[in-house]
A and B are shown apart, each in its own frame.
Chain A
């Protein structure tokens, strides 16, 4: 057995490389109990409304399975699809031996103080697995809900798409309407096996004083496809994440898409790194960032380690009137025969575009909103229609509030 506990203890005070340092002692970690719910309909209307904004539907319409965690307690977890498992991670670690091999396998427990805390004071998280060959067409939904003021919610998730399977996950992180201050630490490990397809769409809906540190690493085997979408359009005090994916099998493909909206007082530092380790692997990182007062850092890193790989990075930023966007695209070709490219642009809305729309009858505000919506409407290939609808809804919701 690996000495996870020992390593975590050693890393307890280890500052992260990126993002402002957070005083973990300022947040409580004691467990907060909530009753398990057989029927999510029993949730309060306020909670339901909040969850639906992150794509999590308490009515479970067109969903294959659901996981809901409130503060530190799992209040619902079940699968409605044969060949799909949705299990709280603490239960899975006790009952399924295979899980232990996947736990802290891709993310090092001693990465920094946040991973250490996720080991030392784990508040559950989920294991979602599609068994070999099973096609889970309707999305599985997972929600991390924070209700207790000042809590540090430390979760660990493991997602496995076994050989030849197809799995779509929509995961929402949200805070209760009254909550202001809290910390969310999320560790995620993704395994996309041979010829499997996994789409993972995360929508965040935080509060103004929320701190968020996410640590995630994925591995994609031969012929596998991993789509990783991230949407955060609500205020957050400080958000930092830099998910990494290893394309470790011939022909593996990864695509990262992120949509970020920075509000005044928000700090976002969001990246994506894809390491192309085998021939014929492909990668794409596309981000759109808009700020109307927040400070956004958008990072991207493509690393080509063998010949015959191809990857593209695109980041576009729009500064509405205040705020900052810092785009840091990186390309690392380690041998000949790699094809890596990037394009980055940061600017403001062109006056010419506004006037063009105004000459078609839109007011200046309507024209601006139309351009912003267009800017954020990235076509993400390979998503089931339910997920596309959720993303569109998040975009619509955001520009209603921003304008």
Chain B
């Protein structure tokens, strides 16, 4: 379980997250909405432990441990993983090597890469000259190798062409144990009950909702979580009346 209590965060001198409370139970996935600059990415980066996001108040608990000031690598080892929107290029470090790092050498990189149609990128330097869609597939591939219990997705569908959107969507669905299988041994209901993975997904376009089911939608507006509801409802509401509506709730 991820539990965030009264979290306040500064980036430089600017207060970017204000008194955030959020709870993600095992098996739950939440969708995070909000206009540009509202603090969505900052929230994910803070959960992942990026030191420039300075926690000035409140606490973050994961699996019962206080991780508020835990370094990034320890959080990763505890089971938190992130799909970045603009990950850095690392010269000389190949995609294949990243898969080995993520899985501690425990997966077959070739087989895994085939699943996201990424085989031809295995010998390329990670993120070097990757297109928007290639970055997403590379990020998903790394998460597949890492197998975290809490998955943070920063706009997984941005920059992805139509051809790949279903591949990305379905892969996220599988990662979050939310795919539906025909003729599976267990009933779909049991599969749902046994679901353990948690997800927090930032979306702008809402396209991801066509592929991934979610339990809750949340709106982040100017660093404040203003609204919690069914994700489809929030998405439709924003589509119709825009984020201006959020101003009224943020006051």
Query: Beyond A361-B101, A361-B104, is A375–B72 a contact (Cβ under 8 Å)?
Result: no
Contact of B102 among A355, A360, A371, A373 (CB under 8 A): A360
A358 touches B90 (CB 8 A): no
> Is A332 interfacial (CB-CB < 8 Å)?
no
> Is A377 interfacial (CB-CB < 8 Å)?
yes
20 sampled A-B residue pairs with Cβ under 8 A: A350-B88, A353-B90, A355-B72, A356-B88, A357-B101, A358-B76, A359-B48, A360-B146, A361-B73, A361-B77, A361-B104, A361-B146, A362-B101, A370-B93, A371-B90, A373-B92, A374-B90, A374-B93, A377-B92, A378-B92
Chain B residues near A21 (CB, 8 Å)?
none
A352–B98 Cα gap in the complex (Å)? 15
> Is A270 interfacial (CB-CB < 8 Å)?
no
Range of interface residues on A (Cβ < 8 Å): 20 to 34
B76 touches A374 (CB 8 A): no
Chain A residues near B51 (CB, 8 Å)?
355
A350–B51 Cα gap in the complex (Å)? 14
> Is A376 interfacial (CB-CB < 8 Å)?
yes
**Quick one: which of B61-118 are within 8 Å of A by CB?**
71-73, 75-77, 81-82, 84, 87-88, 90-93, 97-98, 101-102, 104
Question: What is the 8 Å Cβ interface bit string for chain A, positions 341-372, against chain B (1 contact, 0 not)?
Answer: 00000000010110111111111100100110
Chain B residues near A377 (CB, 8 Å)?
92
B92 touches A375 (CB 8 A): yes
Chain B residues near A370 (CB, 8 Å)?
90, 93, 97, 101
A357 touches B90 (CB 8 A): yes
Chain A interface, >50% SS class? helix
Known A-B contacts: A359-B75, A361-B77. Give 18 more (CB < 8 A). Answer: A353-B88, A355-B51, A356-B84, A356-B88, A358-B76, A359-B72, A360-B142, A360-B146, A361-B73, A361-B76, A364-B73, A370-B93, A371-B90, A371-B93, A374-B90, A374-B93, A375-B92, A376-B92
Say how far B32's CB is from chain A's closest CB, in angstroms: 18
Query: Beyond A361-B77, A362-B101, is A355–B50 a contact (Cβ under 8 Å)?
Result: yes
A375 touches B73 (CB 8 A): no
A358 touches B81 (CB 8 A): no
Question: What is the 8 Å Cβ interface bit string for chain A, positions 371-388, against chain B (1 contact, 0 not)?
Answer: 101111110000000000
A373–B94 Cα gap in the complex (Å)? 11
**Quick one: which of A93-122 are within 8 Å of B by CB?**
none
Say how far A112's CB is from chain B's closest CB, in angstroms: 37
A362–B82 Cα gap in the complex (Å)? 14
> Could you say which of A352, A356, A363, A373 has the most chain B C-beta atoms within 10 Å of its C-beta?
A356
A362–B101 Cα gap in the complex (Å)? 7
B90 touches A360 (CB 8 A): no
Enumerate the 8 nearest inter-chain pairs by beta-carbon distance, A residue then B residue, closest first: A374-B92, A374-B93, A358-B73, A358-B72, A377-B92, A361-B76, A352-B88, A360-B102
A363–B73 Cα gap in the complex (Å)? 6
A220–B146 Cα gap in the complex (Å)? 51
A371–B93 Cα gap in the complex (Å)? 7
B71 touches A358 (CB 8 A): yes
Chain A residue nearest to B51 (CB atoms) is A355
Contact of B82 among A357, A359, A373 (CB under 8 A): A359
Say how far A362's CB is from chain B's closest CB, in angstroms: 6
Chain B residues near A375 (CB, 8 Å)?
91-92
A356 touches B73 (CB 8 A): no
Chain A residues near B101 (CB, 8 Å)?
357, 360-362, 370
A358–B75 Cα gap in the complex (Å)? 9
A357–B76 Cα gap in the complex (Å)? 10
B91 touches A374 (CB 8 A): yes
Say how far A348's CB is from chain B's closest CB, in angstroms: 14
Chain B residues near A374 (CB, 8 Å)?
90-93, 125
A359–B71 Cα gap in the complex (Å)? 9
Say how far A372's CB is from chain B's closest CB, in angstroms: 9
Query: Beyond A355-B50, A370-B101, is A360–B91 a contact (Cβ under 8 Å)?
Result: no
A374–B48 Cα gap in the complex (Å)? 24
Chain B residues near A371 (CB, 8 Å)?
90, 93
> Could you say which of A360, A371, A377 has the most chain B C-beta atoms within 10 Å of its C-beta?
A360
A378–B75 Cα gap in the complex (Å)? 32
Chain A residue nearest to B84 (CB atoms) is A356
> Could you say which of B82, B91, B125, B146 has the most chain A C-beta atoms within 10 Å of its C-beta?
B91
Chain B residues near A350 (CB, 8 Å)?
88
Chain A residues near B77 (CB, 8 Å)?
361
Chain A residue nearest to B49 (CB atoms) is A359
